[in-house]
Amino acid sequence: MSRTRRKRPGQAATAWAFSAPGLLLLAAFMVLPFALALGFSFTNERLISPLPTRFVGLDNYVSVLTDATFWRALRNNAVFVLVVVPVQTTFALWLAVLVNRRLRGSIFFRSVFFLPVMTVMAAAAVVWTLLFHPRGLVNAVMELVTFGAFSPDWLNSTTWALPAIMIVSIWQGVGFQMIVLLAALQDVPDQLYEAAALDGATGWQQFTNVTLPGIRNGLIFVITVTTIMAFRLFDQVWIMPRTPGGPLNSTRTVMLEMVETGFGQQQIGRGSAIAVVFFLIVLLVTLVQRLFLRERREGS
């Protein structure tokens, strides 16, 4: 293989030429903004202020890490991730297995399940706000099922506001994960199922010993992407509660705290410190995930 590479000296240049547009966009929209945020986090930079910008050292980080509201927002983020990632991944896998069967109408159901992904989250959040109204459709169904015993004021309750937002997030995002897992399922050779059936394996044994190992890389991708997207929770907690992050900060997230600090309160320096701390937390969680869930390489 190394000999082949020596025969093509222009191969590396071609690869860089094709990668250049993407690398430039990444540098312009991700690396540069993060570098600026890192720089601003050590200053007293404000959005509109006659005062000159000055270096304040770690003051912004100390202020953020000793703020109870930040830790409440981070706790809400952690609860959201711990519930949404496993539930949404399991639900997506169940849907993918369901629509992967050779049944009439499976293509129609694939389209129906994927449809929420095409919906803008802001629009979906507005519609679900109406559905979660105390006299909305959700409570009408709950009263019917529980004979009137359960009909909370979802979005104005410190107990039920975050679960309501979880339901909307799972509904909107599960179609994307379903499509990824469906593609992984279709790569599992039929011969493996035939061999397992000849050995007398039950349906559950085929699922655990053939299906899950066969879609391992797809599952890892779905879990990683879902975790990162769950940490980015913003639209729903901004739109659905009566006040963003309410009631009583029960739906406040770090993204919301960062935006309100940086733009609402015009404290760009402190908002940048929140962004840097949050980036490091998400990076650490992702690296730990990658450590425990290594992808299986082709041929290994």
User: pLDDT for 117-172, tens place per residue?
Assistant: 998 999 999 999 999 999 999 999 999 999 988 989 999 999 999 999 999 999 99
Q: How confident is the model at residue 1 (pLDDT cuts 50, 70, 90)?
A: very low
Closest among 142, 123, 122 to 132, alpha carbons compared: 142
- The Cα 142–Cα 170 span in angstroms is 19
201: tokens are 């394996």
Residues linked to residue 43 through DSSP beta bridges, in sequence order: 55
Report which residue type is found at 38.
L
In the chain, what percentage of residues exceed pLDDT 90? 71
Rounded average pLDDT over 36-59: 91
Q: State pLDDT tens for residues 281-293.
A: 999 988 888 787 7
| Confidence label for 5 from pLDDT (cuts 50, 70 and 90) | low
| Distance from C-alpha of 32 to C-alpha of 38, rounded to nearest angstrom | 10
**Using the 8-state DSSP alphabet, how is residue 260 labeled?**
I
pLDDT per residue as tens digits for the range 73-115:
999 999 999 999 999 999 999 999 999 887 777 888 888 999 9
Tokens 């000793």 appear where? Answer: 66
In which band, very low, low, confident or very high, does the pLDDT at 259 lie, cut at 50, 70 and 90? Answer: very high
Burial of residue 132 (CB within 10 Å: 0-12, 13-18, 19+) is buried
- For residues 215 and 206, give the distance between their C-alpha atoms in angstroms, rounded to a whole number: 13
The arithmetic mean of pLDDT across residues 29-34, rounded, is: 93
Judged against a pLDDT cut of 80, whether residue 218 lies above it is answered with yes
Question: Tens digits of per-residue pLDDT, 156-169?
Answer: 999 999 999 999 99
Global model pTM greater than 0.75: yes
DSSP 264: I
